[in-house]
Amino acid sequence: MKVLVTGAAGFVGYHLSKRLAETGRCEVLGLDNLNDYYPVTLKHARLAELAKLEKFRFVQAELADAAAVLGLIDGFRPDYVAHLGAQAGVRYSIEHPAAYVQSNISGFLNVLEACRVRPPKHLVFASSSSVYGLGAKVPFSEDQAADRPVSFYGATKRANELMAHSYAHLHGLNLTGVRFFTVYGPWGRPDMTPVIFAKAICEGTPLQLFNAGKNRRDFTHVDDIVDGLLKLLLHPPSGGLPVPPYRIFNLGHHRPVEMQLFVAMLEAVLGRKAQIELLPPQPGDMVETCADLTRVQAATGYAPRIALEDGLRGFAAWFRSYYGFPR
């Protein structure tokens, strides 16, 4: 079985590639452009871990390069495609929207076109809880309207969902979009809350909490996310249903936590106190995220296993090791 994973040097892409390659039953080709949105050293460190696995190979390429994407899919002929490559970051999208158009819109179009030419059994692509935006009711369910995103990043992810629907309708591609809810865990991105907060706590620098720390997030451990991705990836729409063969699922934990409590939990696992700075709400931020898991549980039996307390202990151990902070 052959699986193409785009964004393989990224956080979720690394963990999914590792899980697939470790089975010994999958030939995994990872693709990433290794951009410098955050330090490339972390991406190289992830790839160094993946390079130890016999069933993993890596190619550096740009999703925005249509010829390169088509050439890879035409040559590799994957049975399954996990499209996780994208320009990430909610706040970064406010000042750098063009980067999101190039990677998230043009890049995804190139993946869809290549899959149209050489159809895999199933293409699963990463969306985001950011698509829900204004007017969303907690918990967020997939049948709610998602037409008022509060960030440009969220807008590009919603555009991906609509693009995928059209390709499923026009070309019969088996497509599944997955809305991730605040993923955390070892090898996490340095621009995300857990690493930012952990560094501030360990370095004794001010830790900024927007909206006075009252925002609530549905933190989901990366191992639970990978469990859900595998359940979905290997089981495409079947029997001609739905029509078109297109689905959207939430992958979250369904237990949102207020940010002040999250900081307290981090303090406990790191053994240090934070210097908290309470700030007004930040443009582009959602007040609360919470995944309704009814649909994905009915379809796959997905259920998150890792409690936040346990997940943060594992994250803290990796954080200390990778960044060199003593116990």
Nearest-10 Cα torsion for 57, 62, 66, 69: 10
DSSP 281: P
**pLDDT-derived band of residue 327, with 50, 70 and 90 as boundaries?**
low
What residues pair up with 57 in beta bridges, in sequence order?
Answer: 29
Residue 283: the pLDDT is 80
- 213-223 confidence digits (pLDDT tens): 999 999 999 99
Task: Determine the pLDDT at residue 176.
Answer: 98
Task: State residue 146's pLDDT score.
Answer: 93
Q: Which of 14, 80, 100, 153 is catalytic?
A: 153
Confidence of residue 240 (pLDDT cuts 50, 70, 90): low
- For residue 135, the model assigns a pLDDT of 87
pLDDT of residue 49: 98
Strands (E), 161-294: 175-180, 183-184, 206-209, 216-217, 220-221, 246-251, 257-258, 275-278
pLDDT tens for each residue of 94-130:
999 999 999 999 999 999 999 999 999 999 999 999 9
* CATH superfamily label, 2-181+220-251: NAD(P)-binding Rossmann-like Domain (3.40.50.720)
Cβ-contact 29, 106 below 8 angstroms: no
Q: Whole-prediction pTM value?
A: 0.96
Closest CA to 38 of 92, 108, 100: 92
DSSP assignment of 23-37 equals: TSS-EEEEEE---SS
Q: Is the peptide bond before 78 cis (omega within 30 degrees of 0)?
A: no
Which H or E run includes 124?
A: strand 122-128
Helix (H, G, I), strand (E, B) or coil at 94: helix
37 is catalytic: no
* Beta carbons within 10 angstroms of residue 266's beta carbon: 23
CA distances from 302 to 19, 105, 225 (A): 17, 29, 10
pLDDT, tens digit (0-9, with 9 covering 90-100), for 34-85 = 999 999 999 999 999 999 999 999 999 999 999 999 999 999 999 999 999 9
Query: What are the distances in angstroms from CA 72 to CA 18, 48, 65?
Result: 20, 22, 11
Nearest to 122, CA basis, from 169, 177, 69, 175: 175
**Cα separation, 304 vs 241, whole angstroms:** 26
pLDDT at residue 282 in the model: 85
